[in-house]
Amino acid sequence: MQQLYAQACAVIAGGVNSPARAFHAVGGTPIFMHRASGAYMWDVTGTRYIDYIAGYGPTILGHGHPAITAAITDAAHTGVLFGTPHVHEISFAHLLREAIPSMDIVRITSTGTEAVMSAIRLARTATTRRTIVKCSGCYHGHADSVLASAGSGVASVGIEHTAPDVISVPFNDTEAFVRALSAHKEDIAAVIVEPIVGNFGIVPPQPGYMELLRTGTKDIGALLLFDEVISAFRFHWGGAQTYWDVSVIPDITILGKIIGGGLPIGAYGGHADLMALVAPCGPMYQAGTHAANPLSVQAGIACVHALRDASLYTHMSVLAALLADGIVSRAQHYGIPVTVQRVGGAFSVHFCSHPITNFEDAKKVDKKKFAAFFHGLLSRGIAIAPSMYEAWFVSAAHTHEDVARTLDAIDAIWRSW
C-alpha cells in the first residue's frame, strides 16, 4: 500500500481524489481497493473487507446489484452521453416526485454539491437576499458558500473555513436559531439543514426543532432547504421529511448519492412557482453537460425502484440495531465510554459518554481511541470510514453472519486494550 500511495502522491494532489479517503485523522496509509461485490470489498492484495462505508451511503443495495448492473450495461450500449434530452430523465423525475411529493418540479444535476449550490442560488434569486443560515458541522458539499463549519471531511483534515453571507448555528439549538433569525431577518434568503444529520454522526432532530425551522423561515419570508443527500431513501422510500410522524415540508429538497445507485448524480426540486425561476424559464442559471447523464439516471431508476421493497429497510434496520446494541454491550463490558446513535440502517460510534446533539458534542470525543479502533477493525477485515465523524452504513446485502463477525472483531479489539 505504501508503494501505491507514494505513486499516487506523485501524480494526484495529496495522493487522493477526495480528502475523506485520506488517513489524515487516523494515521497510516490509505488502502487501495480492487473490486467489490455485495457487502464486501477486496483490496489490491486480495484481502476482503466487510464494507460499512458503502461509498459514504449510496451503495445501499450492495455492490454490483443485478438490477443496477443491468441498467448500466443497457446505458453503455444505448448511449452514455447525448447532449440532448432523453426519455429516461422524464421517468426518473416522475419517480422522484412520487417518492418525495414536495418536489413538484425536479432539476437533475451531476453531484450533490452542484444541487446544493443551485438550491442556494435559487433561494437567493427568489428572495433577493444573500445570507444563508446553516447548522455547524453539516457539510452540504464543498462550494465556498457552505464550507463554513462544514464537519465531516473538512473537520477530519483539520481545516476551518469562513464564508461570506453565511451564519452557522448549532444543530438542535432553538435559542441560537431564534437569535440568528431575529438579528438578520431582513437579510436571510434561506436556512439549509440536514433533517437527519449524517456528517458528524447520525443525529436526529430533537422534538420541535424542525417545526421551529419551518415556522421561523416562513415568518421572515426565507426559504427552508432540506439537504437530503444522505437521508433520502436511506431510512425509508422517500425523504426524511416523510419519515417522522410529524412531517415538515421544505421549500427545496436536495438529493444525491443513493439516487444514482452508486453513480454520480444529484437533484433539487420544489413547488412549480419556485422552480419556474430556473433557466431556461427564469433568471436563475444552472447547467451541466453531464446533468441527468443517461448512465447515472438509468442506474438511479433501477436503484429507486428496487428500494420500493419495504422489507429491505426492515432488514437493514434489524442488522444495524444488532450491531449498535452489540457495540454498546461490549463497551459496557470492557468499561469503554462509547455513545452509539442509530436511525434505521445507519449509526455512528463516538468514544465519549455523552449524547451527540450538535457538532460541539461530536468534537468532544477521544480521537486516539477512534484511531486505534479504526485500525483494529481494518486489520480484521472490517472497513469503516477513516473519520470519527462519519456514519456506518448497513446495506441490503449485509447478513447476520457479517454482524457476528464484526462484533467478534470489536470484542477482540477491546479485549486487548
| Residues labelled catalytic | 139, 227, 257
Nearest residue to 54 via CA among 336, 343, 397? 397
Residues 6+ apart with CB under 8 A from 31: 1, 43, 378, 383
Cα(382)–Cα(141) distance, rounded to whole angstroms? 27
Beta carbons of 168 and 139 less than 8 angstroms apart:
no
- The x, y and z cell numbers of residue 317, run together, are 434496520
Tell me the CA distances in angstroms from 192 to 197, 221, 298, one per residue in order: 12, 14, 29
Pairing of strands 105-109, 40-43: unpaired
Cα distance between residue 147 and residue 192, in whole Å: 13
354-357 long-range contacts, Cβ below 8 Å, gap at least 24?
356/200, 356/201, 356/203, 357/171, 357/172, 357/203, 357/206
d(CA 340, CA 44) in angstroms, rounded, equals 32
Closest CA to 166 of 136, 133, 122: 133
